[in-house]
Chain A
Amino acid sequence: MFSVLLQKEIREQIQTFRFAALLITLFGLTVLSVWVLGDDYVRRRDTYNKLAEQAAIQTRECKVPSLLQPVVHYPPSALGIFAKGEEKRLGNAVTIDRWAVPRDASDSLMDNELLAAQPSFDFLAILTVVASLFGVLLTYDSISGERERGTLKQLCSTTTGRGAIFTAKFVAGSLILLVPILISLLMMVLILQFFHNIAFTAMQWLSIALMVLSAFIYGAIFIALGILCSALVRRASISLILALLIWTISVILVPRIGSGLATTIHPLPSPSEVDSLKKVTEEETRRQAEDQERLIRSKTKDMGFWGTFSTTYRQPILRWGTPEAFRLFQEATRIAEPLWQRRAEVVWNLEKEHEAELVAQAELADWLSLVSPSSHLRRIFNTLSGTSYEYYSEFMEDARRFRRAFLDNLESKGYFGRNSLFFVTQIPMEVGLDPEKLNARLDAIRNNLGEGAGWEDVISEDNWDPLPSDIVPAFEFKGDQPQLELVLGPFSSLAVILTVLFLAGLFAFHRYDIR
């Protein structure tokens, strides 16, 4: 009897205008979105490959350890087409700097900052609004409407219990809602496969399957909501209003108000205050470094020093000097190096605190929108597509670990003192512009260095040995698998919401006056 009921419900739903409307709307919007976002992904992937290649060449060709800035990165996520998430806002490439701990990954192709306030328009966004709205529209009159038409009495006069009738309506509605989702998804995957040549891996297929499952539960929640509303009131027009009211609140309002309130309840520290804190630490380190520098400067006073001798620049540069000065310069930078690295740690600690505040605020916003199924759906989709903050933050952890390993490697191989360059943009007065004099002077310095300190190859960048290939350790990003354990929470929240709505609907229907 249950299957007969189910068949009847499905047959009735399929013939309705709203089902056709749902199918066309969902299909049209998803196809449009995937077409453009697929193109966008391909472009970003190509840009990414180009950048990765260029970064690798730059690292390979670099001869000066102090100029070595390897870039670590991970490819843009193909599933980001379905759920854009925070990927394009957070970035996916980090340039490793000796004197700064990486704090963001913005060296990649990111979103236009001027569009920051525009919400995305991907499969997730379309599902969130369209599937839920039509879920409600499909079922708002399933009980009150039948009562108005007078068919409810007939239905309840059969031998089947009300529980079975309710369940049949619920299952039929959920399956009917799943059909357009599946058709749209199939079309999207086909477009991606054949027009954009994007092939998914097994893991990505698993993610897609889980996305479908979550979309199914999400849709079922609104089906259950529609039936519940129609079982609470006598007239279909009232149940429609009730259902749409709850829909507006849970899908549109709660997430917005949640994040709005979170910024009010848990305010972030003012950016200028954070910056001035950083400046204080920077000043301290600068003073320490300059003390060391002054000491060495006093020793090199009579050595014909010329040019910028400064550890306060990112790349200490000796522009001109005697071999003795050059050696002292190396010594100064060796002293300054640990100071600047310690400063990097201090600044990073400040930044880490700030980032913890950001995360706390976002968690509060999530918590405030706990009742909204759409926020759970968003977390599931973003996690599965690898565009969530958690994914990014694992990458950043790995990038920081990589930086540490890279620096340790530099230090253990004795490269920390060798961070100076020879520039000829500035020339002592007595040499002037006469090329002969200039070359003679350069030769003299080369010779002198060779005798004194064994730095004969170091004087000009062109004469430096290429750096050994093992100077940059291999970068491993362990987070390139979807973090399945993170979707358990949102999945169970969705399940709880569904169960509550289903049971409430069942209860309301049992007490429903069918006259």
Chain B
Amino acid sequence: MLLIARRQLMDGLRDAKFLFFATLVLVVFTANGFIYSDWYSKSIHDWNYASSNNLKVVQERADNLQELANHEQMMVKPPSALAFIADGGEQMLPNAFKVNAFYVGSVQKLSRDNKVLPVLGALDWSFIVGNLMTFVAALIGFGTICGEKRDGTLRLLLSYPISRIKLVTGKLIGLAFALIIVFLLGAAISLSILIFNGVLPLTPEVGYKIGWAVLTSVLCLLFALTVSVAVSALVHNPAVAMVIIMIGWVFFVFAIPGLARLIAEQSVEIKSKFEIQQEVNAAYDSIDQEIPASWKIWYGEPFHESVPNRAEWRRRTVAAMLKVIDDSLQKNINQAEVVNWLSIASPVGLLDSAFQELNGTGVHGFKQLLSATRRYRSQLYNFVKEIDSRDKETPHILYPYSRGDRGVISTKPVNVNSVPRYQELWLAGGLAPESDLPLTHLIILVLGILQAGIIALIAVARYDPR
């Protein structure tokens, strides 16, 4: 069996057509390394710029707690250093929220995204492995059995004193080795460019994640290869095998993710800005009817008896506005998650979604940002509450949009260094939840490989070599 595997591997490595594609894959991996090194250094520069700007404003407001509590900070998601594995629209998705001590405000996009550039997809590992290398796998696998039959070498092979099962397993291992060598070589090129440019920190965590990515990629390639060998063992004409495999490739790589998006857009309706505004206005109107006009009055006096009422009005108004905004944001998230879930039907989609989960990019990254922002807001609120409670000259009534109502919260200066900073909290891992390792995805892939492998084995056992 090992002999077969070695022969297949050597055949593969010596084969001109394989070498063509291998070179292509290596070139694309190199481009991946360079493009993402450049992207990351720019994005991290932008992030630093935005955060230092934000800090500067926070420092300016620190001479007045009330100002600070009401000031909307721009909380920006730091770019993922692992975006080269699965971009997930790291540059195109919204990546920031406005936040103060009372609410998480509107979603923002602070990136160098070009709205004019057509969306063609990124040049990440997920594409190289999922689209390009599965294509190569299909091409080197489709002739394994039926090609040998056409060339007349299959009978010769079967006359060797080894079982058919061993024969096909050996062939599969040989092909897989050839493919995996190319992948590992490409990955090494891409990684070394990224490390050389200082994008990838050499920490155990990063190494661990990259290890997972490599493992998932290898499984995905094995799946593609097994399927194409299975098809090759099911038909007798290599041309037919190739057409079937190409249809399969189009279906898995292109149609399932595309259809997933269509189905998600059909099943989860989202709202336009205009509609959101209308709903917010309607909510305001209904609050205006519920609440007596006298509640809204500010008497210029923080200890006045009407201040709790005014606070209640403000709180209700903001809660109503946030409900509309959060609902619509949740719909957007649901829609994007439906796309992810449906794409899992394709191993390529599975790979992409596993990678995104690993990296914290795509919808997954966005959800992390959202929960981190909410966590930061409550930290900021607690901070404001605590500092305010020390001031005996205020009524300690905290409510949103209270900037104009001077004196309801302490207006004394605060120690700038004690203000919670999202930048440091985030980098220290205090805000973003730990990303789970995509074990489910891995198990599904292994099951897929087993299934395709069994089909291939049965087909080979029943194959008529004449």
Tell me if B303 counts as interface (CB < 8 A to partner A). no
Segment touching B, from A4-12, A129-137, A156-164, A498-506? A129-137
What is the distance, in angstroms, from B247's C-beta to the closest C-beta of chain A?
6
Shortest distance in angstroms between A243's beta carbon and chain B's nearest beta carbon? 11
| Number of inter-chain CB pairs below 8 Å | 228
Min CB–CB distance A408 → chain B (angstroms): 26
* B110–A263 CB distance below 8 A: no
Shortest Cβ gap from A117 to chain B (Å): 3
Contact of B211 with A by CB under 8 A: no
- Interface residue? A311 (CB, 8 A): no
With A245-B24, A252-B132, A256-B123 known as contacts, the answer to whether A18 contacts B243 (CB < 8 A) is: yes
Task: Indicate with 1 or 0, residue by residue over B116-140, a CB within 8 angstroms of chain A CB atoms.
Answer: 1111111100010001100100010
Tell me the complex Cα distance, A9–B298, Å. Answer: 87
Docked pose: A195 CA to B248 CA in angstroms: 30
Query: Is B117's CB under 8 angstroms from A361's CB?
Result: yes
Which stretch of B172-180, B181-189, B252-260, B431-439 is in the interface? B252-260
**In contact, A358 and B35 (Cβ under 8 angstroms):** no
Q: Is B263 engaged at the interface, CB distance under 8 Å to the other chain?
A: yes
Whether the pair B263, A36 counts as a contact (CB closer than 8 A) is: yes
Whether A115 contacts B336 by the Cβ 8 Å rule is yes
A118 to B273, CA, bound (A): 21
Looking at the complex, which one of B45, B139, B257 makes contact with A118 (CB distance below 8 Å)? B257
Residue among A93, A270, A273, A433 with most chain B CB within 10 A? A270
Please indicate the chain A residues that have their CB under 8 angstroms from the CB of B14 in the complex. none
A463 CB to closest chain B CB (Å) equals 19
Q: Given A248-B132, A358-B114, A361-B116, decide whether A114 and B297 contact each other with a Cβ distance below 8 A.
A: no
CB within 8 Å of A: which B236-295 residues:
238-240, 242-244, 246-247, 250, 254-255, 257-259, 261-266, 269-275, 278, 293-294
Q: List chain B residues, Cβ under 8 A from A248.
A: 24, 132, 135
Task: Kindly state whether residue B363 has any CB partner on chain A within 8 Å.
Answer: yes
0/1 interface trace, chain A 71-115, chain B, CB 8 Å (1 if under): 000000000000000100110010000000000101111101111
Q: How would residues 246 to 288 of chain A score, 1 for a CB under 8 Å from any chain B CB and 0 otherwise?
A: 0011001101110111111001111111001000000000000
Q: Does A322 contact B (CB under 8 A)?
A: no
Known: A117-B122, A119-B120, A252-B132. A90 touches B21 (CB 8 A): no
From the candidates A37, A90, A110, A425, name the one contacting B296 in the complex (CB within 8 A).
A425
A453 within 8 A of B: no
Bound Cα distance A376, B249 (Å): 24
Counting CB contacts under 8 A, is A151 at the interface? no
Is B362 on the interface with A (CB-CB < 8 A)? yes
Question: Given the complex, which residues of A lie within 8 Å of B93, measured CB to CB?
Answer: 113-114, 116-117
Tell me whether B114 and A362 are in contact (CB under 8 A).
Answer: yes
Size range of the interface on A?
Answer: 35 or more
A213 in the interface (beta carbon within 8 A): no
What residues of B have a CB within 8 angstroms of the CB of A117 in the complex? 87-89, 92-93, 119, 121-122, 362
**Would you call B262 and A37 a contact (CB within 8 A)?**
yes
Cβ contacts under 8 Å, B247 to chain A? 21, 25
B110 and A118 contact, CB distance less than 8 A: no
Inter-chain contact B127/A272, CB cutoff 8 Å = no
A271 to B92, CA, bound (A): 13
Distance to closest chain A CB from B141 (angstroms): 13
CB nearest to A265 among chain B residues: B38
Once the chains bind, are B49 and A86 in contact (CB under 8 Å)? Answer: no
Query: Of B123, B264, B272, B300, which is within 8 A of A110 by CB?
Result: B272
Report yes or no: A272 in contact with B261, Cβ–Cβ below 8 A: no
Residues on B with beta carbons closer than 8 Å to the beta carbon of A426:
297-298
Secondary structure call for the B interface: helix
What is the CA–CA distance of A289 and B28 in the complex, to the nearest angstrom? 55
Question: Does residue A33 face the partner (Cβ distance < 8 Å to B)?
Answer: yes
Binds B, one of A234-242, A327-335, A484-492: A234-242
Once the chains are docked, how many angstroms separate the CA of A515 from the CA of B162? 38
Contact A262 B117 (CB under 8 A): yes
Main secondary structure of the interface of A (DSSP, over half): helix
Report the minimum CB–CB distance from A180 to chain B (whole Å): 13
Taking the closest CB of chain B, its distance from the CB of A453, in whole angstroms, is 28
Inter-chain CA distance A252–B17, complex, in Å, is 18
Judge whether A51 is part of the interface by a CB distance below 8 angstroms: yes
A444 CB within 8 Å of chain B: no
Contact for A29 among B88, B255, B274, CB less than 8 A = B255
- Please, which residues of chain B bring their CB within 8 A of the CB of A17? 239-240, 243
CA distance in complex: A55, B277 (Å): 12
Instruction: Check: A415 CB closer than 8 A to any chain B CB.
Output: no
- Tell whether, in the assembled complex, residue B24 and residue A249 are in contact, meaning their CB atoms are under 8 Å apart: yes
Taken residue by residue from 334 to 362, chain B's Cβ proximity to chain A (1 for < 8 Å, 0 otherwise) reads as: 01100100000000000000000000001
Docked-complex contact A113 and B332, CB < 8 angstroms: yes
Q: Cα distance A114–B336 when bound, in Å?
A: 6
Residues of B within 8 A of A268 (CB): 112, 114
In the complex, A39 has a CB within 8 A of chain B = yes
Q: Mark A168-207, 1 if CB is under 8 A from B, else 0.
A: 0000000000000000000000000000000000000000
0 or 1 for each of A20-36: is its CB under 8 Å from B? (1 = yes): 01000100010011001
B111 at the interface (CB under 8 A from A): yes
A133 to B261, CA, bound (A): 22
Q: Which of B21, B92, B272, B274 touches A116 (beta carbons < 8 Å)?
A: B92
User: Is A272 in contact with B46, judged by CB distance below 8 angstroms?
Assistant: yes
Say if the beta carbon of A359 comes within 8 Å of chain B: yes
Q: Given contacts A108-B274, A141-B239, are A259 and B38 in contact (CB under 8 A)?
A: no
A39 cross-chain contacts in B, Cβ below 8 A: 266
- Interface: A54 (CB within 8 A): yes
Q: Assess whether A272 is in contact with B49, with CB atoms less than 8 Å apart.
A: yes
Q: In the bound complex, do residue A260 and residue B143 qualify as a contact, i.e. CB atoms below 8 Å apart?
A: no
Q: Is A121 interfacial (CB 8 A cutoff)?
A: yes
A269 to B333, CA, bound (A): 29
Q: Let me know if A60 is at the binding interface, CB within 8 A.
A: no
Residues on A with C-beta less than 8 A from B259 are: 32-33, 121
Task: Return chain B residues, CB-CB under 8 Å to A110.
Answer: 272-273
Asked whether any CB of chain B lies closer than 8 Å to the CB of A508, the reply is no
- Is B383 close to A, CB under 8 A? no
Q: Does B459 belong to the interface (CB within 8 Å)?
A: no
Residues of A within 8 A of B115 (CB): 86, 89-90, 104, 358
CB A464 to nearest CB in B, in angstroms, measures: 20
Which B residues lie within 8 Å of A315 (CB)?
none
B243-A238 in contact (CB<8A): no
List chain A residues, Cβ under 8 A from B110: 271-272
Name the residue of chain A whose CB is nearest to the CB of B32: A260
* Contact between A133 and B246, CB atoms less than 8 A apart: yes
Q: Complex: how many Å from CA A129 to CA B333?
A: 29
Q: Does B147 make an interface contact (CB < 8 A)?
A: yes
8 nearest A-B pairs in the assembled complex, by CB-CB distance: A117-B89, A121-B258, A241-B17, A116-B92, A114-B336, A109-B272, A36-B262, A362-B116
Known: A32-B259, A267-B38. 17 other contacts (CB 8 A): A17-B243, A39-B266, A51-B272, A86-B115, A109-B275, A115-B339, A118-B119, A137-B243, A242-B17, A249-B24, A252-B132, A253-B132, A256-B123, A263-B35, A272-B50, A276-B53, A425-B296
24 of the cross-chain contacts (CB-CB < 8 Å) are A17-B239, A18-B243, A51-B275, A109-B275, A110-B273, A112-B332, A113-B94, A114-B94, A115-B335, A116-B89, A116-B113, A117-B122, A119-B121, A120-B258, A121-B262, A129-B254, A244-B135, A264-B34, A264-B35, A264-B39, A271-B50, A271-B112, A355-B116, A425-B293
